[in-house]
A and B are shown apart, each in its own frame.
Chain A
Amino acid sequence: QVQLVESGGGVVQPGRSLRLSCAASGFTFSDYAMHWVRQTPGKGLEWVAIISQDGSNKYYADSMKGRFSISRDNSKNTLYLQINSLRGEDTAVYYCAREFRVGGTLIGYWGRGTLVTVSP
């Protein structure tokens, strides 16, 4: 079965950087595009970015361009999200997610999320 396990969250000071990881298993990782989605406390889902199967194409939500960087290592079945110059408004649960079907783009499977708290 599809398993996505995020890690790397925690309490971080404003202005610092953080790299989140997502370990994938139960499917052929290199066959699927992958997403990051975040959810601020008590708020809705916010799409962050998508990366193609081979990592050659990356797209970001307009509000995420510049400080966020999505990447993947298909040899390690791992997805990453680098966040630089963290701000209080980046405090959120960050979810790793997989497209439902190959080439379908939209999300079918979600990890349980990792909480990032930006605080002095």
Chain B
Amino acid sequence: QVQLVQSGGGVVQPGRSLRLSCAASGFTFSSNGMHWVRQAPGKGLEWVAVIWYDGSEKYYADSVKGRFIISRDNSKNTLYLQMNSLRLEDTAVYYCARWGWDRRPDYWGQGALVTVSS
């Protein structure tokens, strides 16, 4: 079955960096685009970034553009989100999600909490 297992969350000071990982199994990882979506405490969902199945295209939300980098290693079946210059407002649970057929976000990771605090 499709599984997305996330790691890398934690507490970090403003201005510092953190990298999230999302390990995929149960499907051909190199055939699917992947997203990052976040949810601030008590708030709704906010799309962060997407990467094409082969890494050839990447798109970002304006709120993270120039600070976050989405990448993937298809040989390791793993998606990454490098978060630089973190701000207090980046505090959220970050989810990875598979980009399935018909542009559907069909499988989601369990989430990783990132807390930016001084």
Q: Do A and B bind each other?
A: no
Instruction: List the interface of chain A (C-beta within 8 A of B).
Output: none
